[in-house]
Structure 1
Amino acid sequence: MSGVQTIKVEATEDGSRVDRWFKRRFPHVSAIMVQKLCRKGQIRVDGGRVKGDSRVHEGQEIRIPPLPEPGERPPVNRMSDEDIAYVKSLVIYQDDELIAFNKPAGLAVQGGSKTTRHLDGMLDAFGEGLDRPRLVHRLDKDTSGILIVGKGPKATARLAKAFQSHKTRKTYWAIAIGVPKPKMGEIKGFMRKAAASGVDSERETMVAAGHGDEGAQHALTRYVVIGEAGQKASWVALRPVTGRTHQLRVHLAAMGTAILGDKKYTCHRPAPEDLGRRLCLHARRLEIPRPGGKPLVLTADLPPALKKIYDTLGFSVKEISETDIEEDLA
């Protein structure tokens, strides 16, 4: 039996539920035991009682009561063989610090209301406890493309800090309805959340706000039009300088050229040729700084369903210079 411990919540654990935080730290302790310890007040956060579904935040201190030693444990992976094979098939790169996935549209990054199958839950396929990879950023459920997770607390903390301090460079590709004018520039302003629903970001809606409004956050996006299909649609590269919820979707809709397939942030233009059945937003490129070396540059191919839409509109990835695009967005 271990003694009483006090553990501080790391930046990468901010917003985690108490029971899930506990499971990552002490995988041998059952969920039933965690709930029981919470009810008895033996697990406390900053000295206060909590429930299993309470959320913890960076810097808070969690009191851990005496716990049984690991002993015999059930197998680490309770995932199905199919899910293990599936999540591993999404990996496009990995090293000692991180794993990069090409996340498909429709797969949530985290659990939420009525969301039980998500990438975070599948990370059990890669380890347990402190060795279990951890999320360092997010993508909307219906956005495809690059998403990385950190290997171990130290790597995860460094990567999370790089995202939070805007030292990473992200490039998204979108198909917009119509053509943004001008064809290259910046979109900026303030936005705020109109509603919140925990970690289920798809239930949140962002609205325009004024400077000084409660909850208002400044948002800045750089963009350049790569290709056009007449005036019906355009292929746009976007760089979110800030990282607000649904930022790219809100900004393109505000220009009157909403992202094709976006059912939440729309514009007055009709979708071309009935192609708007999926959100045409893809996290194409991610540049991550590396201490003492060159940045790591990752790219994610378009998923087949999205590439088919590109082909239908006459957009060819082979005919563009991504180097020129990156220079335009710099």
Structure 2
Amino acid sequence: MRHVVIDEGSAGQRLDNFLLRELKGVPKTHVYRVIRAGEVRVNKGRAQADTRLELGDDVRIPPVRLPERVEAPREFVPAREFPVLFEDDHLLAVNKPAGVAVHGGSGVSFGVIEQLRQARPEAKFLELVHRLDKETSGLLLIAKKRSALVALQEQFRERETGKTYAALVWGDWAENKKVIDVALLKFTGSDGERWVRAVENSHDPQADQAKRSISLVKVAERLQGASLLDVTIKTGRTHQIRVHLAHAGHSIVGDPKYGDFEANRAIARGALRFDRMFLHAKRLRFIHPGSNAEIELLAPLPPECAKLVADLSLSSQ
């Protein structure tokens, strides 16, 4: 029998989720069985699976026999810090480079969050508040307390955050094209990969499965053969900006999935040598979970993106 006192990292969590984390390897059915049997106690009393744990609660966990299994060798995760844009006791905002996943999975061994945990072994709690595509650079929020995670994710769910991206697209974006309100549908392609497509026609056989998606677009700068856009998303769908802009006839420079492959190849191999997707999370506005103050964070363009804009700007003069 052991007792665990709930700290800030676990406060606010459901009892069942807490136990599943504490008793890794124990079948889910067994965890729920010991809860129903009253073998798990919170402050000496019986508790339900959905009981919310509070700071300082004493949780009594009964002895549980783990099934014998051969542990697979763990892959080495290097410790790595990322450029910090904001940090306090509640949260951390970093400037994620392009080409780095935010977390491991789907063929990726590790990402930003795993590397940060290795770099900060003393941190009791580090969790992603939201996600960015591997190819996208820019602002990424990480919660340092469960209460901050819950509060911030609620803001993201309710679309109470301001998220603006810098996107460089091929061609001359029309000044009057300011709102893209086109539904999006996720699907798995014949290659086994996850894809997203625009659904504009109500007669589309899958129209009822598509989700309404809204992006606001503003031209920041007109360049030689391209337009630098500020895109603010009012919904947070998978690949939303990439598919919306490509559907409008102006794919993002360097987009390996929905882009103009010939133009991307030319700019990567030519004099400009630009070989990434030009999509950067540049601005994020939210209410601080501790102080309730409005916070606005800005992430400067990465050097390779700033250089490309400067080169195309000179070419257009």
Q: CA deviation at 1:119?
A: 1.3
Structure 2 CA distance, aligned partners of 1:112 and 1:206?
19
* Residue 299 (structure 1) aligns with: 298
Structure 1 CA distance, aligned partners of 2:180 and 2:195?
19
Give 2:209's match in structure 1, choosing from 205, 209, 215: 215
1:287 aligns with 2:282: no
1:47/1:301 CA distance change after superposition, 3 Å: same
Q: CA deviation at 1:272?
A: 9.2
State how 1:114-193 maps to structure 2 within 5 Å. Answer: 114-124=107-117, 125-126=119-120, 131-182=124-175, 184-193=177-186
SS at structure 2 position matched to 1:218: coil
Contact 1:179 1:228 in 2 (8 A): yes
Contact 2:97 2:138 in 1 (8 A): yes
Structure 1 CA distance, aligned partners of 2:166 and 2:34?
43
Q: Quick one: which amino acid aligns to residue 300 of structure 1?
A: A
* Residue 84 (structure 2) aligns with: 91
Contact 2:20 2:31 in 1 (8 A): no
SS at structure 1 position matched to 2:187: strand
Give 1:228's match in structure 2, choosing from 190, 197, 222: 222
* Residue 194 (structure 2) aligns with: 204
SS at structure 1 position matched to 2:27: helix
1:208/1:312 CA distance change after superposition, 3 Å: same
The size of the alignment, in residue pairs, is 268
Aligned-pair Cα RMSD in Å: 3.9
1:43 aligns with 2:31: yes
Q: After the TM superposition, which of the residue ranges 245-254 and 264-273 deviates more from structure 2?
A: 264-273
1:67/1:240 CA distance change after superposition, 3 Å: farther
Structure 1 CA distance, aligned partners of 2:132 and 2:288?
22
State how 1:268-279 maps to structure 2 within 5 Å. Answer: 270-271=263-264, 274-275=267-268, 277-279=275-277
**Deviation sequence 1:242-287 (CA, Å, 0-9, x none):** 1100000001101110000012113598349614521000000101
Contact 1:24 1:128 in 2 (8 A): no
Q: CA deviation at 1:95?
A: 1.1
Q: CA deviation at 1:305?
A: 2.2
1:25/1:190 CA distance change after superposition, 3 Å: same
**Deviation sequence 1:200-256 (CA, Å, 0-9, x none):** xx94211122557342100000011111123x1111110011110000000110111
Contact 1:171 1:283 in 2 (8 A): yes
- Structure 2 unaligned spans of 5+: 5-9, 37-48, 52-59, 65-73, 269-273
Structure 2 CA distance, aligned partners of 1:127 and 1:306?
33
* Residue 2 (structure 2) aligns with: 2
TM-score w.r.t. the length of structure 2 is 0.72
Structure 1 CA distance, aligned partners of 2:241 and 2:175?
16
Structure 2 CA distance, aligned partners of 1:272 and 1:301?
26
Q: Quick one: which amino acid aligns to residue 30 of structure 2?
A: Q
* Residue 312 (structure 1) aligns with: 311
Q: Quick one: which amino acid aligns to residue 251 of structure 2?
A: A
Q: After the TM superposition, which of the residue ranges 88-97 and 184-193 deviates more from structure 2?
A: 88-97
Q: After the TM superposition, which of the residue ranges 241-250 and 91-100 deviates more from structure 2?
A: 91-100
1:23/1:302 CA distance change after superposition, 3 Å: farther
TM-score w.r.t. the length of structure 1 is 0.69
- Structure 1 unaligned spans of 5+: 5-9, 49-59, 69-77, 197-201, 316-330
Q: CA deviation at 1:65?
A: 6.0
State how 1:237-276 maps to structure 2 within 5 Å. Answer: 237-267=230-260, 270-271=263-264, 274-275=267-268
